[in-house]
C-alpha cells in the first residue's frame, strides 16, 4: 500500500472518529423526555407550546444537568418501553410507580402524589364508588394507566373486570364517552379530572378518593448515573422550594 492510500485511510478514520464524537456529544447534551401531553395540569399543549408541571419540572432538571430539554409527545403506553430501550432518557407523564413497570425501568424518588377520582354525569347511575360495581356500569379509562390496570382487574383483586372497562387513547376521549353515554364513569387522576369538569358542564367528581399513588420519573435501568443526577436535582428542588413553586403555578391551594 502506497503512502497516498495510507494517508486517505488515516483521514477517513479521523473523520469517522470526529463524526462519532460529535454525535455522542450532541446526544449527551440533550435530555430527551417522553410524555403524553393530554394530561393537564401535568402536561398539555397550549397552541404549539408544551405546558404543565412535568414540563417545567423536566426543564428545571435539564438546566441543573446542563442539558437541552427535548420533548417527545407520544402515546402513554409506549413511554416505559421507549425508556427501557434507550429511545428516551426519561419518561415524565404523571406516571405512577408499579411493580410491573419497575421490571422494565428504574424510577426516581417521587415528586408528587397522585389521587385518582371518578368523574360522573350529574344525575347519572353512579353516585358513589360502590355503584361502580353495578352489572350495567361501564367505566372509561385512559389506556395503559394504573386506572386502566387496576379497574380492569378481577373482582377478587379489587377491580371490576375487563368487560366493565373501556380504555381510550386519552383521558379527554374517555370524558367524551361519558358525555355521550357510552360509559357511566371515568377513573382518572384528580387534577386532570378537575380540568375536565371545569370545561364540561354537567359533569362532577365523586367526593371519595378512588386511589392514592406516587408520581416518579422513569429512567433506563442501566443509566444509574442519570438516576442519581435526577434524584439529586429533585432533592435540591424540594429543599429550596422550587418544586412547590412549580406545582403552585398550576394547582392552586383550596
pLDDT in tens, the chain (254 residues): 555 455 445 445 555 444 444 333 336 899 999 999 999 999 999 999 999 999 999 999 999 999 999 999 999 999 999 999 999 999 999 999 999 999 999 999 999 988 999 999 999 999 999 999 999 999 999 999 999 999 999 999 999 999 999 999 999 999 999 999 999 999 999 999 999 999 999 999 999 999 999 999 999 999 999 999 999 999 999 999 999 999 999 987 65
The pTM (predicted TM-score) of the whole model is 0.77
Q: How far is CA 239 from CA 15, 189, 209, 218, in A?
A: 46, 26, 29, 22
Contact 215, 95 (CB under 8 A): yes
- How high is the pLDDT of residue 27? 60
- How high is the pLDDT of residue 252? 75
- How high is the pLDDT of residue 215? 95
Q: Which domains does the chain have, with CATH numbers?
A: 3-111+216-250 (3.40.190.10), 115-213 (3.40.190.10)
Query: What is the total residue count of the chain?
Result: 254
Name all contacts of 155-162 with Cβ < 8 Å and 24+ positions apart: 160/132, 160/133
Contacts of 139 (CB under 8 A, 6+ apart): 132, 151, 160, 164, 165, 166, 183, 184, 185, 186, 187
- How high is the pLDDT of residue 114? 87
**Nearest CA among 147, 141, 138 for reference residue 116:** 147
Distance separating alpha carbons of residues 133 and 160, to the nearest angstrom: 6
Grid cell, residue 250, equals: 398550576
- How high is the pLDDT of residue 231? 98
Distance separating alpha carbons of residues 226 and 67, to the nearest angstrom: 12
Amino acid at each position: 500500500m502506497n503512502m497516498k492510500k495510507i494517508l486517505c485511510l488515516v483521514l477517513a478514520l479521523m473523520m469517522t472518529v470526529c463524526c462519532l464524537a460529535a454525535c455522542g456529544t450532541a446526544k449527551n447534551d440533550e435530555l430527551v423526555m417522553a410524555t403524553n401531553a393530554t394530561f393537564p395540569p401535568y402536561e398539555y399543549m397550549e397552541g404549539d407550546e408544551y405546558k404543565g408541571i412535568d414540563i417545567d419540572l423536566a426543564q428545571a432538571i435539564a438546566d441543573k444537568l446542563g442539558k437541552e430539554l427535548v420533548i417527545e409527545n407520544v402515546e402513554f403506553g409506549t413511554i416505559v418501553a421507549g425508556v427501557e430501550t434507550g429511545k428516551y432518557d426519561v419518561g415524565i407523564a404523571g406516571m405512577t410507580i408499579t411493580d410491573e413497570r419497575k421490571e422494565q425501568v428504574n424510577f426516581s424518588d417521587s415528586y408528587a402524589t397522585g389521587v385518582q377520582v371518578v368523574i360522573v354525569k350529574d344525575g347519572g347511575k353512579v353516585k358513589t364508588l360502590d355503584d361502580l360495581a353495578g352489572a350495567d356500569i361501564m367505566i372509561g379509562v385512559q389506556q395503559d394507566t394504573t386506572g386502566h390496570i387496576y379497574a380492569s382487574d378481577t373482582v377478587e383483586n379489587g377491580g371490576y373486570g375487563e368487560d366493565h372497562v373501556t380504555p381510550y387513547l386519552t383521558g379527554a376521549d374517555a370524558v367524551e364517552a361519558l358525555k355521550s353515554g357510552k360509559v357511566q364513569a371515568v377513573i382518572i387522576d384528580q387534577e386532570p379530572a378537575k380540568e375536565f369538569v371545569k370545561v364540561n358542564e354537567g359533569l362532577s367528581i365523586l367526593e371519595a378518593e378512588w386511589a392514592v399513588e406516587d408520581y416518579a420519573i422513569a429512567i433506563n435501568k442501566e443509566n444509574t448515573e442519570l438516576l442519581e443526577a435526577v434524584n439529586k436535582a429533585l432533592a435540591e428542588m424540594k429543599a429550596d422550594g422550587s418544586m412547590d413553586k412549580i406545582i403552585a403555578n398550576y394547582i392552586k391551594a383550596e
